[in-house]
Every structure is written in C-alpha cells, then in structure tokens.
Amino acid sequence: MVTNRRGFLGGILGLAGGTLSISAYALPSLQPQKWDEESDIVILGAGGGGLAAAVTCVANKIPFKIFEKQSFIGGSSLLCGGAWSVCGTEAQRAKGINDSPDKFLKDMLEVGKYKNSPELVKAFISATREHYDFMTKVRGLSPTFVSASAGMSLPRAHYFKPADVLGNMKAFIEENGFIVRLNSKADRLVVDPMLQRVTGVRILNGDKTIFVKANKGVILCTGGFSRNPQLLEKYNPLMAKVDPEGGMGNTGDGLLMAQLLGADTQDMNFIKATYGYRLDRKYSPRTVHAYYGGAILVNQEGRRFVNESLPYKLLADAALAQKDARTFEVFDEPIRQQRMKSRLAERDLLGAMNDGKEVDYCFRAQSLEEAAKKAGLPAEILIKTVDDYNKNVSNGEDPEFGRTSLTSGFGTPQKIQTAPFYIYPAKPRLIATYCGLRIDPHARVLDVYGAPIAGLYACGEITGGVHGAAYMTGTAWGKAMGFGRIAVLHANRS
C-alpha cells in the first residue's frame, strides 16, 4: 500500500491566535491514502487491560476492534499470581473484613511512598471494583479466597485462576460476535495533522499491512518492556541483569509508539524485580512468599538482612544487594500450612511436598541443622539467627530490622520452631516494569507538557503513576482492567 508520509509537522500547523499549540509539535502523520478498516475504539493488546476494555465496549454497545501481536491472549496477566486487589466486596464481608476505598488509598500511598498519584489511585480503586462486580455478578466468577499480601493492612487480594478470568472475558466478547485478532502487531500510530489527534494505527500481520481507523480513540494495552534489554538498560541498568519473567510480548512497542508522539513517562526510576522465585531456569511464573506467613529471609551467611514484612519489590532490592544475590526463605511446618491456604501458587509449590514428597527447589529436614547442611548454609549461624528471631518474637520486638507484622501492619510474627523445617532458595525476577506512560484519571496519555494527546489512551503495565515507589499485590492486574474500562467510557464520550 502506498502511503502519504508527511514526516514531521512544522510549527505552522500549530499557529492559532499567534501561539503555537503544544500538541502540534512534531507529530508524525503517516496518513494512509485510504483506511482498510475502521471502528469507534481500537484496542491494542489482549491481556487483562485489553480484554477488560473489549468487555466494556460490548457491555455498552460500543463498536470496537481488538488486536494482539501474539498468537494467544493473556500477556503478563496470564502469568500473574491471580491476585485481584479490590475493596468492600461480599467476599471480604463474609470473612468479617471491613475494607473501604479510603483504607485502600491509604495503603497504596504508603506503599508507594507517596510517589504515586492520589487521583490515579482513586480512579483505579473505583473502576477495578466496577469491573470486578461485572465479572462476579454478571459473568459468574468468584474468588477462591481472600488474603493479605504485600502492602496490605488487611486482606484484599481476591484470588482467581488468571486463565479463568481471561477466558471468561474472551468468551463474553465472542458470544457477542467479536473476535480478538491474533498475530497482529501495531507498529505506528496515525495522526491527522489537521485534527491534531490520533486517528488510527498501522497493523502488521505477516506480510500484510493494514491501516485501521479509530473514530473515538486508540487504547494502548500493549504491556511493559521486561523483555526489551535495551529499554531496561536505558531506564534501570540493574534490571537488565535480572532474569525476565513477564509476557514474551512485553517489548515496549506501545511505549515507543506513544513516545514518538511526545508522550511523557512516569515512575521509570522505580522499576523493580519481584522476590520469591525459585533459582532454576525452569519456567514457572509462581512465587513463594512464605515471609508473609512468618518466614525469615537470610543470606548465604545464614543471617537476616531485611524486614520481611516489606513489599516484595523492596525485598527484591535488598536481595540484589546481597553477595551473589543468594538468599533463602526459612520457615517451619505451621508456616507452610498457612501459606498453602493463602495463595494458589503456594498451594501448588509448597503442596508438592505433602505426604513426605521431595522437590528439587526446597530443602526439608527434621532439624534446622540438617536443613542448613542440605542448603549449603552455615548451620551454627543459622540456628543462632532463628533463636534470636524467636526470642524477639516472644518479646514483641525486632531491634535490628523492626519487623512488627507479617505484611504492612497485618498479622503477628510467628516463631519458627516446629519441625519439619524448610529452606527455600529464592531470587528476584523481573515479572513486570510497573511504570511507563503518564496518564490522567481518564486514562488519556499525556505529553511532556502535561496535555492529553487527543485520541490516545493507555492502561495496564504500559502506564505509570498508580504504584509509585513500590507495589501492592494484585494492583497491577486490577489497574489494567480498571483503566481499560475507564479508557473506553471516556473515549466514547469524547
């Protein structure tokens, strides 16, 4: 197809009343001679955010098209631990948990060290609850259980099997006559120089190129860039040295397309790994967070090095600071039993040791000394570390690291004293980047001057502003779906 490539617009187009419009600066046009397809909303990416956007379109009878560059749906959402953080739900009330948007907001800001945007967090809390209600009350899903994890002052992580939620959304789309267009990669946004807005996108499918017009908006749901070493090196060189674990399609495509239009970014300096992965390279998106049940973390010298109740992003920072980043979770049988009731991943990983079965990723023994020898740790030092910790638990103090809870103020630290004992070697991996395009509470992408780029929206891992300096479990998945909903509803009104 022949296109009229106008290149970069000069300032002349931006002259209005003697001033230069910010949004007229250097917008690449890439106008096609004709559009191959069109719809009101064009959604790029079929992970949690993209599918939630599509579901919102269907529920509100808004014409849309959705494209996914992979040969399957899901993205990073398919690999997540299944936690969806929501507040004030029936599942919480059934357990006597008195949660509220204000408590949720307070926790989010404290975890994010007040580097996150309160207005974005408020928008997320409201919208993710609306989508949760749709998926549970209309679509019939229900959480397996609710528990507390990183960054929560009370339990609000509602656990689902990610494939169930994603599959349910896909089914809803298909039941209403729509499909996800797979193997379809967006590589450029199209801007109308006269309207000064994003009006469509160029899609590559094998050797075929099509231009798709978006009458009301393009929504970027393309994920982060954990699989792009060059971008990691640019924004956080330390993360380029950490094994990636996110979706294979997370190469920063949407980020780069938006930056070409002058989009601003946020939280790039807060890219952090996630702590709790097994050491081997066997593929497994699952983690063990036994420290939120009472485990302690030790380095290869057998000594504690951090307050274990911190969010696991901050624990990853502490682990990477240890020699060779070699660290271990140390716990006992009661903690193992508790963790199997708290997360689906740990039900699988720790449950694999039921009935005396052995696994190659966790050491078990009837004494700490024997467990330490199996793990290659100095037994005498580890035993003293655990003894000192148990004494501090009895005294209700932790003079060295200040641990007073299991996680972010919730729960009481437990002694490690009941055989068998377990030592789980753990490492950080980069599951997601949790930063990216600056958006407003309407999910509009903002340029470097803080003005919305007309016709361009974003949701999910590609965006910054919600998490800030750290991360609460279940908010990335919830953020994606919440802002997918927000983007559609705002674009439809525009």
- The token pair at 305 is 């090095």
Cβ pair 289, 149 in contact under 8 A:
yes
Q: pLDDT, tens digit, for every residue of 287-328?
A: 899 999 999 999 999 999 999 999 888 999 999 999 988 999
Choice between 347 and 437, residue whose per-residue pLDDT is larger: 437
Q: pLDDT, tens digit, for every residue of 438-473?
A: 999 999 999 999 999 999 999 999 999 999 998 899
- The token pair at 126 is 């409201």
What does the pLDDT read at residue 246?
A: 78
In the chain, the percentage of residues whose pLDDT exceeds 90 is 79
Interstrand relation of 327-332 and 157-159 (parallel, antiparallel or unpaired): unpaired
What does the pLDDT read at residue 6?
A: 37
What Å distances lie between residue 413 and 154, 303, 344, CA to CA? 15, 18, 22
What does the pLDDT read at residue 351?
A: 94
Which is nearest to 461 in space by CA: 65, 78, 64, 31? 78
What does the pLDDT read at residue 304?
A: 98
* Residue 75: pLDDT over 50: yes
Q: Which residue has the tokens 């694999």?
A: 352
What's the rounded mean pLDDT across residues 249-261?
A: 96
* Residue 492: pLDDT over 90: yes
Q: Which residues, 6 or more positions from 465, have their beta carbon under 8 angstroms from its beta carbon?
A: 116, 117, 120, 266, 267, 438, 439
Q: pLDDT, tens digit, for every residue of 172-221?
A: 999 999 999 999 999 999 999 888 999 999 999 989 999 999 999 999 99
* Residue 11: pLDDT over 60: no
What's the rounded mean pLDDT across residues 31-48?
A: 96
How sure is the predictor about 2, in pLDDT bands with cuts at 50, 70 and 90? very low
Q: Which residue has the tokens 């907001």?
A: 105
Which is nearest to 494 in space by CA: 453, 437, 449? 453
| Per-residue DSSP letter, 440 | -
The whole-model pTM stands at 0.85
* Residue 147: pLDDT over 70: yes
How many whole angstroms separate alpha carbon 209 and alpha carbon 37? 11
What does the pLDDT read at residue 169?
A: 98
SS3 at position 356: helix
Q: Which residues, 6 or more positions from 43, have their beta carbon under 8 angstroms from its beta carbon?
A: 50, 53, 54, 57, 64, 65, 66, 67, 219, 221
What's the rounded mean pLDDT across residues 4-31?
A: 43
Overall size of the chain counted in residues: 494
Is the previous residue joined to 420 through a cis bond, with omega within 30 degrees of 0?
yes
* Residue 99: pLDDT over 60: yes
What's the rounded mean pLDDT across residues 134-147?
A: 96
What does the pLDDT read at residue 27?
A: 58
How sure is the predictor about 9, in pLDDT bands with cuts at 50, 70 and 90? very low
Average pLDDT, the chain: 91
How sure is the predictor about 14, in pLDDT bands with cuts at 50, 70 and 90? very low
What's the rounded mean pLDDT across residues 141-166?
A: 94
What does the pLDDT read at residue 5?
A: 37
What does the pLDDT read at residue 150?
A: 87
* Residue 22: pLDDT over 50: no
Cβ pair 156, 97 in contact under 8 A:
yes
